[in-house]
A and B are shown apart, each in its own frame.
Chain A
């Protein structure tokens, strides 16, 4: 095992079940896409979007996945939420297989695992009222009594800090931050165990970002969730997560507890990512754009790419 990787979850302080089964387990997961043929004589080129990922996540853990665009983050999310099938490898959630199952067989997964997406404007149906948006997973889960559903929707709205009268409004009547609250409420509706957040704050302003990060913290704590948090922003991941996996070209290049990763990054790519974050304190201390670019170039060791 290379020194810089820690596939196994960190034993959780105060969790009391250090040796529990992982809630999520990925074993050598691969996903390949075939590009269109470029020649009749050669086989079509293959893109390895996810290339041999191993991972174990303990219940209650908060795992961050960082990487730049094209690193395979989104493909990995699609795989572990059963929206796409891996080319090879095994994915287990709570000990049950996710790969190779039909969507009908994955009904249990839709209740165990829920997603919050980046852009609430495109992930919420503009023609549905908030009531129906949040109740939709409940209907799918077979909660047929309308009165019961309504009760649940109101509780959910309260738990994400939205007023009761939001229930009759449409997504466009809310601000970006409020829309993200609706997404979170919908995700919480089927009482999931795992919350997967795909760049949930990238589309938001800083002040609103802080509100949504606080909300995610609150619901993960309050509903006892396991969090998979995907972002390209290392400083956000640092704030939210216990452990971080750095992804590049379909592989995890480094997996480490958050503070360890920031204090002592092992892989060159992690160092480059950390060096590239512009921070207020460094900038006020005199770090110019040229200095920032220099550091990135240095860490990249000349292999610069846009």
Chain B
């Protein structure tokens, strides 16, 4: 594992009226795989878009986003310069491969295009042959033939491999995947996950992996950040966060997603644990702790934004009434 590739400090995103993200801070080292989880509407994709500089008009970001090899804050860069960074030093794989690809263009040309735009290949012909190589490396059979087909002629899994080839074409330092396998069948999902991990490892790239599937995150990532209401509420190594969660939201997610008992047998019917209520709309989260209106442990003390408690090893949580706090060593166990 190497130096920090992406460093996000105090990232906030807001429209003129509504705050959407607040105080999001994290770093990802080269070769590291970090997951970002949470329910829909918790701000995962928005974080990715803010980092990529792809926020729509009327939505503004503040804070700092730094990418290795580029001086200063990415958020302050003009779009012209961001366009140069996107697709070369950082790239993104989107959820729906059908909408991410141009339906009127042969897929080989779409892969070649990203190399021509960033000038990584000297000529059209070189880019074309490199595109075929890339299609081969993402595991597409008969790549020369695939390169000549249009997106609609390919299956969902094949399309997602094309999108991966485009994202990987210029060997980015940072690869962001936004729910890359949600639209795929389970067997195909397993293969695409393997592909993403392998390709990221080969390039020693930093990987930010967004999903709502906890099992997928545990399979792919080493570290995980749990997001809710536009804030990171808990972070740490996957094993630590998933086996010994401190935040009630993390625990709720874990309990709800596990359909089998710890010993692998089936859970009693009608007894699936749920998180009470549902995710409020943007701007309707409570002040103070964003989760307090759905949390059973919430008290008066939760009306103030909880401070970040460090558990060491890059792990931490933002909760006034953490779970299992007495077992932690000193600095985590703070109450009133």
Seen from chain A, the residues whose Cβ lies within 8 Å of a Cβ on chain B are: 68-69, 175-178, 205-211, 213-214, 217-218, 221, 232-236, 238-240, 258-259, 272-273, 275-284, 287-290, 292-293, 295-297, 300, 304-306
CB within 8 Å of A: which of B267-292?
Answer: 267, 269-275, 278-279
Contact partner of A210 (CB less than 8 A), chosen from B218, B239, B256, is B256
- Alpha-carbon gap, A178 to B278, bound state (A): 9
CB within 8 Å of A: which of B176-198?
Answer: 185-191, 193-194, 196-198
Contact (Cβ within 8 A) A207 B275: yes
Q: How far is the CB of A241 from chain B (nearest CB, A)?
A: 10
Q: How far is the CB of A161 from chain B (nearest CB, A)?
A: 11
Enumerate the 10 nearest inter-chain pairs by beta-carbon distance, A residue then B residue, closest first.
A306-B157, A293-B194, A283-B218, A68-B185, A210-B272, A206-B257, A278-B215, A207-B275, A210-B256, A289-B193
Contact (Cβ within 8 A) B259 A239: yes
Place the interface of chain B in its size category: 35 or more
Interface string of B150-187 (1 = CB under 8 A from A): 00001111100100000000000000000000000111
Contact partner of A300 (CB less than 8 A), chosen from B187, B219, B270, is B187
Contact partner of B193 (CB less than 8 A), chosen from A176, A277, A284, A293, is A293
Q: How far is the CB of B191 from chain A (nearest CB, A)?
A: 5
Seen from chain B, the residues whose Cβ lies within 8 Å of a Cβ on chain A are: 39-40, 154-158, 161, 185-191, 193-194, 196-198, 212-216, 218-220, 238-239, 242-243, 252-254, 256-260, 262, 264, 266-267, 269-275, 278-279
* Chain A residues with CB below 8 A from B264, complex form: 281
- Alpha-carbon gap, A295 to B260, bound state (A): 21
* Chain A residues with CB below 8 A from B274, complex form: 207-208, 210-211, 214
Contact (Cβ within 8 A) A276 B157: no
Contact (Cβ within 8 A) B186 A276: yes
Contact (Cβ within 8 A) B156 A287: no
- Alpha-carbon gap, A304 to B161, bound state (A): 14
- Alpha-carbon gap, A69 to B279, bound state (A): 30
Count of chain A to chain B residue pairs whose CB atoms are closer than 8 Å in the complex? 149
Contact partner of B186 (CB less than 8 A), chosen from A218, A232, A289, is A232
Task: Specify which of B243, B262, B278 lies most central, judged by the most chain A CB atoms within 10 Å of its CB.
Answer: B278
Known contacts A280-B214, A280-B242, A207 near B256 by CB under 8 Å:
yes
- Alpha-carbon gap, A236 to B269, bound state (A): 11
Q: How far is the CB of B140 from chain A (nearest CB, A)?
A: 8
* Chain B residues with CB below 8 A from A206, complex form: 39, 212-214, 253, 256-257
Contact (Cβ within 8 A) A289 B39: no
- Alpha-carbon gap, A254 to B185, bound state (A): 19
Q: Could you name 28 residue pairs across A and B whose Cβ atoms are closer than 8 Å?
A: A176-B278, A177-B278, A206-B213, A206-B256, A207-B257, A210-B257, A210-B273, A211-B274, A214-B272, A217-B269, A234-B186, A236-B259, A239-B267, A239-B272, A272-B187, A273-B186, A278-B216, A280-B257, A282-B215, A283-B238, A289-B197, A293-B191, A293-B193, A300-B187, A306-B156, A306-B157, A306-B158, A306-B188
* Chain A residues with CB below 8 A from B155, complex form: 305-306
Q: Nearest B residue to A286 by beta-carbon distance?
A: B239
Contact (Cβ within 8 A) A205 B40: yes
Contact (Cβ within 8 A) B198 A233: no
Q: How far is the CB of B167 from chain A (nearest CB, A)?
A: 17
Contact partner of A283 (CB less than 8 A), chosen from B188, B219, B273, is B219
* Chain B residues with CB below 8 A from A175, complex form: 278-279
Known contacts A289-B219, A292-B194, A218 near B214 by CB under 8 Å:
no
Q: Nearest B residue to A306 by beta-carbon distance?
A: B157
